[in-house]
Structures are given as C-alpha cells and as structure tokens.
Chain A
C-alpha cells in the first residue's frame, strides 16, 4: 500500500489524477475502521490531513451565500464555529462517536465514505447542500441528492476529490433525531433530519440508515409544503404530523440486520419524523 502525502491542494489533485485508485483519508474515522476490519486494503492512501487550506470554512459569494465547509473541518469545530448557522448539522455532529472521534473526524471525510448510516448525511440532504468536487480538470458542484450512488459509493470521478461542502445557513428551525441501541458511541439504527425554510415555506428532509443510501423523503416534503399552515400559531396539527411521519417511513427501504428489523426502522422513522417536525415547529415560536 502506497502512502501519498501531498502538502498542498494542487499536489493532492495531481496525485489523485495520477493515482485514481488512491483512497483519500481525511480524519480516518471511516477509512481506518474499514482497514482495521480487513474490509479490503486500498492500493494507496492519499492523506489530506496536511493540506492546511482544507481546514478552513468561509462564505460563498452571490445573492444567497452558503457556508463553504472545507474538507478538513472537524465535527468539534463544526459544532463550535458553525452551529449557529447550521443547527441541524451541529445536532447530528454531536451524536458522532466520542469527543476524541469528533476531534478527529470530519463531515466531508464521512461524506466521501458515503456510509448509509453516517450521521451527517440526513441534515445535509435536508438543507439542500452542494458537494464541491474538484480535479485537475476543474470544479463542479454536485447537488447532495445526486451524490450518494449506493452503499458506500458516491458520484465522484476517479480523479476528483471533495474540496468542501456548501451548506445554506438555516432559514428556519432544524432538527435531527436518531435511534441507537445505546446512548453514545453508536451507529444509528435509523436517523432523520428536517429543516424548515420559513421564508420559502418548504421543508427539507433526510433519512439515514434505512435505505442503501441516505435519501430524502420527497413526498413528505411536498406534503408539508402544501398542507402545513405556515402562518398558523400553536403546535402542528397531530393528524398532519402523523401523515408526515407515514410519508417519511414510506420513503425508506430498510433491511433487517444486527442493529434492527426493517419494520422497526420504518416505525421508528415515522415516530422520529413526527417528533422532529413538532420540535422544529415549536422552536419557531420561541
């Protein structure tokens, strides 16, 4: 196994172009686990940790600026520095591993790994994030909904690396919920994120650990946009919340595995979706 260690982003892109077989490693919380579990040995590792510019975040230009979160920004920093703009993502980040893992792990590293159970994916889907993929050929922005291609497979070309992820700042309350078989250090049995956009009067959703890829619940989103009383005071109509939950559960395609049964996952998703909507809506009143 070759170990490639670029010092700059330019070097990293050049190396990736020369070695499309290389597996990028950022924090290592996915890649090293796979290696330690003997789930295949990469022919080469491309260590992006030394690339200093990746650990920065900034605002994008334009009429609707987004947060451009560099590939090296750790969960700990994301929570501390960006939590005010990205509350759903910060909430999900707090459930990742332990403090040590959050000090090391990065949102974008886990994004590249594209595990269906990754905690960061549902809020990225709910927010409508864009993945900034770059290669020596140039840069493109991939809508997050088109990024996940299959279990641990993403839409990157062989020579591309993720430079950053662009996330719109919250335009309303956001909420993340997760069921696990213990209270910390746990891979989700299933998870759910909702992001309300109060100006545009629509909701984004993200489902985790309940399909081959993280995915949105489109029908549930359309239902909320059309049926939620966006001007209404007081709590969400229970019947509406229940229907929303059902639509979220219908969007999932879970399996039975060691962590839980498919029917339990569907049920728990409906509960989490209903609750997350209620919590987010209640936050609007504060």
Chain B
C-alpha cells in the first residue's frame, strides 16, 4: 500500500481551472492551425435505402467551396467491419441523418450553405424504427456491452414466482436519451500526405494529426489507424480539454472519419468539423429506449425468492450495440432463482452507444421501482426490504465482496434525509402540494482496464513531469493524477506537472466505465515507484522511468462494486401535476475518494442527470420518417438550474484495500444510477400514482 502523505484526499482546486476560466485552455475547434478549411456534412433524409444520384454542381459553384465529397469520390478506407465508420464508402443508407457527403469550403458559412444545395435522390426502401416487446425478429446478442453474457438463468424463476407469497410483475420503459455534452463533437484533421498513392488511397508515408474532442486519444488513434490502413504511429490524436462527453466521446464516431476524408480531399489544408447540436442527435450515439419486465417473488417477510429482469431494447441495423440493462440485477439482491435476458431489435436507427452508466442507468430505474412496489406489497419500509435482501456474497459469482456497504449507505442517508418523516402514499399535503420521499439503491462495477502506462521525468529544480495519454472530460483527472503523483513521489503538489490528452504520450485507456482514475492512477503510482526505485530521492535532472499498470489479482478473487443510496423529496402540485424536486441526497460507498471537490461534482452531476432522466429527457422518434423530431435543446429538455434546487452527495470514509494501490473504485457513473427511481418512488409516495414509464410528466399524475 502506498502511504498517502498529503495530497490524496484533499479538495485540491482543479489544476487546469484558471486556464479554463480565463479562456486560455484551447478547446479543439479553437485550436489554431494554418490556413484551415471548414467542413459541413450532407445527411441522409431517408431512414433506409440507397443514394440514387447526387447533383453537387450547384454546391461546387458556391464561392469559397473547395470540394464536395460523396461516396463516389471519397478516399477508400480499409474494411474493418464497422459500418458506422465506413463513411462514404457505399451508396447504402442505414439511418436518417447518416453522412452521404461533405462540403469543404473557405468558411463555415460557405460550407453550410453549399451543403444545403447538394441534391441527393434516393431509392427508398421500407424502414422500421419502432421498438415493441411483441415485435418479430427480436434476438439475443452474443454478448452485451461490457463483455457480459446476454442471458442468465439460475434455479426456477417461474416456479418460485408461482410459490411466492408476494409478487411484483411489471413492465417499465425508458425512452431514447441523448448524452448532449456542452461541447459538441469536434474534429480538426491535418494530413501530411507523403506520396499520394494512385487512385486516391492513403499513401504509405501519410500521417494524420487529429485534434479531437474525445474521451480517449489512444482509442481514437488505434481505431482510426485501422480505418485508414495506417500504422498507429502515423496517426496522432490531440485532445487536452474536453467539454463533456458522458460516453458519447468514448469511441470514435463517423464524424472523425468524415473530417479526415474531407481534409484528404483538400491537400495541404487542415479541415475543421464541428457537429451542430441537431446533427449530434443522429451521429453522436444515444441510449436505446428500453422495455423492461421485472418480476420479483418474495415471502411475506420480504425475503426475495425470485428476481427476473428481462429487457427489450434496440440497436442499429448497421452496427450492434447491446446496452447491458439487466446485468446489475444479477448481483444486486440475494435470491435463489434469478433470470436476466436481453433481446434486441435491429432497427433502421442511428447507432446507439455509451451514455453515462450504460446498463445500470436504465436498468436500475426498473429494478428499484419494482423493489419499491415490493416493499409496498409487503408492507415493509423500502430500506428494510433492501437490508433483508443484502447478499453475503455476490449471488452471481459466489465471490466475497471487496466491500459492500449498501445498507450503511441507506441507513446513513435515512438519518441525514429525515426518512422517518415519510408518511403513507398520498397523505402529506402542504398547501396544494403533495409531498413525498423516495429511496433507491445504486451500484456500479469496479473496472480497472489494462493497457495504461505512465512515465515520470525529473526536470531538475525539484520539479517532476508525469506523462500519460489520458483524458479529462471535466471529471478532474488532471487534478487527481497530479495529487496521486505528488504523494507517490513524496513531493508537493505544485512540484508535479501532469501531461495528458495526446496519443504521443504513453498509452492510456478510455475515460469510461468510471475506470480512469483507478486505471491511470495505478499506472502513475507504479511509474513513480519505479522512478524512486531507480533514482532514489536525489535524481539527476532528465532522469526518467515508466511503468505499465500492474495486474490486479484481487479483481479475480473478489466481487468489486461501488454502492450508493439515492434519496429524493418531491412536491407535486395536487391540481396540475407539476413535479418539483426540492431535495436530493446521495450517500455513496466508492472506496477512497482522491479529491472530495471534484468527486462531489461528479456525484451531484450524475444525480442531476438522473433528475433530468426522471422528469425531462425523451427523444421522440417519428416512425414515419425515422427522424428524432425534438433534436435540439429547446425541445429535448434537460434539467435547467431552476429545476435543480438542493442536490447533495456524501460518501463513507473508507478505502477498498482490494482496489489497487489507490483503494478507490471509481465514481463517474454511480451518481446517475437509481436517481430516477428515487424520484419516481418519491412521486408514488407523494401521490399514490405509480409511474413506470419515463419521463414523469404532469399529465400522467392526473389520470
């Protein structure tokens, strides 16, 4: 174990904060490049079919237009089997909004104007975008996101349900949701063409530099290198500052490829591409809508005998992404009979992808509302119900927990939140407002991803530089890694400078799965120890040492998950059904907290996103056109400041001794898990109306 000296655990201010608030932090689109040109995409206006003809003459004639690129003349990419990234390689259209061309011009205005003049004619084929649980063609994916099996079945759920004294058997739905980070998806592509190959392909010596807004510079580099058929060392991805991602920037999307194709078409010119807010709704990933059936069987004492969580969700016909919605139900509660399954409909929709806590976020809305229904049916306090079903060991793997403190979180939260004041459903009227309290449990797995490396260099004068190609998407990674390195080296915080956000830096895994700080931090600790091992306390200037992230043997021996308790108070207007959330509290058990300031921000940010999921967010797909009609922030509602009153998060003071050298389990996603269920449960407590479909809107409370 590292002996933490003084930096880890303190609320150090963000090291990049002054640069950000003074505008010196260069975000991707503002990156100065020499003589840039600007790209604007042409998007398909049908949901399925093929491009029959393209007339780009009018666009090409616009003053300042440098190139109009379509599938007819785009450079040929390697076939990686990833249809999302096979941009402009064929005339096929797989979803509305897919790229069918791009205009490159001297100004963004000219590019956008000209893109509007490109005339595309289509041979339309029937499309299908509607998810229903009873539709034909549902299939079980080989595995779901995260590498989990699609289905599990232990014991006999049906028999247990039959025999159970108390049962819940309900369907829950969540809508299509969109990550919507503040900074849109942006790429600036710069080619050093080398010898241009005949036929417009990418030459042997070509080099691509991509300034990108991404959660993983190395991930983008390795993927794009394959797509362009280049060795990885000839692709460089630079991304020091990122204005949010929530998973949508966790892997390259089509716009990265489009920017590079556009730049290839105008030799010698860097090309800037920024998706508009509206384009993001088709091109930046989204969370699938879900239809979830949850069955719970219990004795009269509330002890579970059966848990079944069966999910129907969509993926894109052109590329599979299977949200692992039911996976959390495999480990959450003790029950001898357990079944989970995922069924996908491959639809003519944009490609779904990661959105904060994929799997757990929608899955725990259903599971935790169902638990509230069970508590009601058993006449038990919801906290007591969860305590009675808290498993000694992981029900799925049989392994011991590295630290499961869910019940402590629930009890701690109950005391802080005033849970004892909760009354029977629909009985607490203050003025014309119905007041209710709700609770839900939360969890998120511990992921430490292999593949990161850190290097430490002594600059002389008491100063060290730590290099790792990681990403800070607003999480606080710059700061947390600085703190970790300072303690691991045994020096002051200000003696350490961290460099991240560049694929020329040592390899680093994605800022995803709440794994960044644990994965990169472990590599940083290892590198600092290697450095001290070689050079001791008096290194010469220029001394350098590095290390890979060490293996994590405990991850094989223990079930490692973070836990949390989400509490919400709601006030529902008795006459109009308007819902307000005056208070939320999260109590989390996440191992060691490296930086309380940035951690709190992560927790309450996740909870706020959960509030938004509960009350506001809903993508409306028009099945006639395959179009998300509310594809802007005026109509796709996200919670505003006025909707968020008092959101607070606290955590248990602990470390997880099995969770690597940091004793930390990761915190980025657990804040959203269970938050929407806590609000839905509070709405039930306030009104007596059980809402099983998100978002909760005023009209359903008056039915």
Seen from chain A, the residues whose Cβ lies within 8 Å of a Cβ on chain B are 33, 36-37, 179, 181-187, 189, 258, 260-261, 263-264, 267-268, 271-272, 275
Contacts and interface: CB of A to CB of B under 8 A. Distances in A.
B702 A179 contact: no
Given A182-B642, A186-B637, A271-B576, A261 B699 contact: yes
Contacts of B640: 182-185
B642 A183 contact: yes
A275 B278 CA distance: 38
Contact of B576 (A179, A183, A185): A179
A179 B637 contact: no
Contact of A181 (B278, B642, B697): B697
A46 to B, nearest CB: 20
Given A181-B698, A261-B699, A264-B698, A272 B576 contact: yes
A180 B310 CA distance: 34
A258 B641 CA distance: 23
A37 B632 contact: yes
A263 to B, nearest CB: 8
A115 B577 CA distance: 25
Interface string B70-114: 000000000000000000000000000000000000000000000
Residue with the highest number of chain A CB atoms closer than 10 Å, among B576, B580, B632, B635: B576
Interface in B665-703: 697-699, 702
Contacts of B630: 258
Interface string B613-642: 001100010000000011010110101111
A36 B577 CA distance: 33
Given A258-B629, A271-B575, A271-B576, A182 B698 contact: no
Contacts of A267: 576, 702
B218 to A, nearest CB: 36
A268 B637 CA distance: 20
Contacts of B634: 33, 185, 187
Contacts of A272: 576
Nearest to A97: B634
B643 interface: yes
B128 interface: no
B635 A258 contact: yes
A33 B634 CA distance: 10
A264 B699 contact: yes
B552 interface: no
Interface residues of B, number: 24
A260 B643 CA distance: 19
A248 B629 CA distance: 31
B578 interface: yes
A95 to B, nearest CB: 10
A272 B573 CA distance: 12
Given A268-B576, A271-B576, A179 B629 contact: no
Contact of B698 (A36, A258, A260): A260
Nearest 8 Cβ contacts at the A-B interface: A183-B642, A264-B699, A184-B642, A271-B575, A184-B640, A183-B643, A268-B576, A261-B699
Contacts of B641: 184
Residue with the highest number of chain A CB atoms closer than 10 Å, among B616, B632, B639, B697: B697
21 contacts: A36-B632, A37-B278, A37-B632, A179-B578, A179-B698, A181-B697, A182-B615, A182-B639, A182-B642, A183-B580, A184-B640, A185-B640, A186-B637, A189-B698, A258-B635, A260-B697, A260-B699, A261-B699, A267-B702, A268-B698, A271-B575
Contacts of A186: 637
Given A184-B643, A275-B575, 17 more contacts: A33-B634, A179-B576, A179-B698, A181-B698, A182-B637, A183-B580, A183-B642, A183-B643, A185-B634, A185-B640, A189-B698, A258-B635, A260-B698, A260-B699, A264-B702, A267-B576, A271-B576
Contacts of B616: 181-182
Is chain B's binding surface mostly helix, strand, loop or mixed?
Answer: loop
A25 B643 CA distance: 32
Nearest to B631: A37
Contacts of A179: 576, 578, 698
A182 B629 CA distance: 19
A185 to B, nearest CB: 5
Residue with the highest number of chain A CB atoms closer than 10 Å, among B578, B629, B699: B699
Nearest to A271: B575
A120 to B, nearest CB: 17
A183 B243 CA distance: 25
Nearest to A1: B113
A33 B632 CA distance: 10
Interface string B590-629: 0000000000000000000000000110001000000001
B293 to A, nearest CB: 26
Contacts of B643: 182-184
A187 B699 CA distance: 16
Contacts of A260: 697-699
B111 to A, nearest CB: 16
Contacts of A258: 620, 629-630, 635
B20 to A, nearest CB: 21
A10 B580 CA distance: 50
A187 B630 CA distance: 13
A236 to B, nearest CB: 15
A243 to B, nearest CB: 16
Contacts of B615: 181-182
Interface string B340-380: 00000000000000000000000000000000000000000
B390 to A, nearest CB: 36
Nearest to B629: A258
Interface in B274-310: 278
A44 B643 CA distance: 39
A118 to B, nearest CB: 14
A182 B634 CA distance: 11
Nearest to A258: B620
A185 B641 CA distance: 10
A192 to B, nearest CB: 11
B693 to A, nearest CB: 14
Contacts of A183: 580, 640, 642-643
Contacts of A37: 278, 632
B168 to A, nearest CB: 28
B690 to A, nearest CB: 18
B294 to A, nearest CB: 27
A185 B637 CA distance: 9
A283 B615 CA distance: 33
B637 A181 contact: yes
A187 B640 CA distance: 13
A272 B577 CA distance: 12
Nearest to A262: B699
A8 B637 CA distance: 40
A28 to B, nearest CB: 14
A218 to B, nearest CB: 24
A271 B577 CA distance: 11
Contacts of B637: 181-182, 186
A181 B643 CA distance: 10
B455 to A, nearest CB: 45
Contacts of A182: 615-616, 637, 639-640, 642-643
B205 to A, nearest CB: 42
A263 B640 CA distance: 27
Contacts of B620: 258
Contacts of A261: 699
A184 B632 CA distance: 16
Interface string B241-269: 00000000000000000000000000000
A234 to B, nearest CB: 19
B433 to A, nearest CB: 13
A64 B83 CA distance: 71
A127 to B, nearest CB: 25
Interface string B536-560: 0000000000000000000000000
A258 B618 CA distance: 10
B38 to A, nearest CB: 18
A183 B629 CA distance: 22
A275 B697 CA distance: 21
